[in-house]
Amino acid sequence: MNRFSLFCCAALSVILAGCVSERKYDALETKYNELNQKLSGEVASDQVRITRLQSAVKIAVNSELLFPSGGWQMPREAQQLIARIAPILAPIQETQLLVNGYTDNVPVGADLRARGVKNNEDLSLRRAQNVADYLISQGVKPSLVYVKGFGDADPVASNDTPAGRAKNRRVELTLNGSGN
């Protein structure tokens, strides 16, 4: 093969790779728009925030609906909200769904330690797992769900006020668009 042929093959590979990326981008954009449309009431009432990232769509659920301070069990209202999200995610879920849990910076107390929670990272993992289990019970594909607890890392608000701490007690669902 001469140099020109090698160059053409390399150029074609780059062009085709760009098309795949564009298709993935378009598919992710479609998912983002569909989620916004189907959850428009929840978005308008600030129960859910949907963010379009470069290679993913992130859904953040209002933390005050999900978990009380020091807890990881979802109240009925939170289960109802997650039950409205799951049937939207299930049919469009072709790639990983990352369920990331977070806490505020208040240290785990004696009551939680007595219940087996060692630290905020453990608490955040239990929150994420609780949401993931509920999503799976509502039809989300378990083989594509991945759970991680981040503790008090990456706060979205100041931990100096009760309102800020409430915002930091959250679970974020990220629908990965990269296929990884």
Domain ranges (residues) in the chain? 32-176
Res 127: pLDDT? 93
Which pLDDT score, from 0 to 100, does residue 179 have?
Answer: 47
Tokens of 3: 């140099």
CATH of domain 32-176: 3.30.1330.60
Q: State the pairing for strand pair 97-101/171-176.
A: antiparallel
**pLDDT given for residue 28 in this prediction:** 74
What does the buried/exposed string (b/e) look like for 6-44 if buried means 16 or more CB atoms within 10 Å of the residue's CB? eeeeeeeeeeeeeeeeeeeeeebeebbeebeeebeebbe
pLDDT, greater one: 57 or 22? 57
pLDDT at residue 136 above 80? yes
Confidence (pLDDT) at 142: 93
User: To the nearest whole percent, how much of the chain has pLDDT over 70?
Assistant: 82
**Rounded-to-integer distance, Cα 32 and Cα 53, Å:** 10
Query: What one-letter code names the amino acid at 82?
Result: I
| Predicted confidence (pLDDT) at residue 143 exceeds the cutoff of 50 | yes
pLDDT at 178: 52
Model confidence band, residue 29 (pLDDT cutoffs 50, 70, 90): confident
The stretch 152-163 carries a mean pLDDT of: 93
User: Residue 49: which residues within 8 A CB-CB, separation 6 or more?
Assistant: 43, 59, 60, 62
pLDDT of residue 121: 97
Quick: pLDDT tens for 8-19: 333 333 333 333
**pLDDT tens sequence across 76-135:** 888 888 888 888 887 777 778 999 999 999 999 999 999 999 999 999 999 999 999 999
What is the spatial order of strands in the sheet that 56-61 belongs to?
48-52, 56-61, 171-176, 97-101, 145-149
| Per-chain mean pLDDT for the chain | 80
pLDDT of residue 12: 32
Which residues contact residue 146 at a Cβ distance below 8 angstroms, ignoring those fewer than 6 apart? 96, 97, 98, 99
**Strand, coil or helix: 140:** coil
- In the block, residue with structure tokens 């978990």: 67
Q: Measure the CA dihedral 175/91/62/178, to 10°.
A: 10
pLDDT at 23 exceeding the cut of 80? no
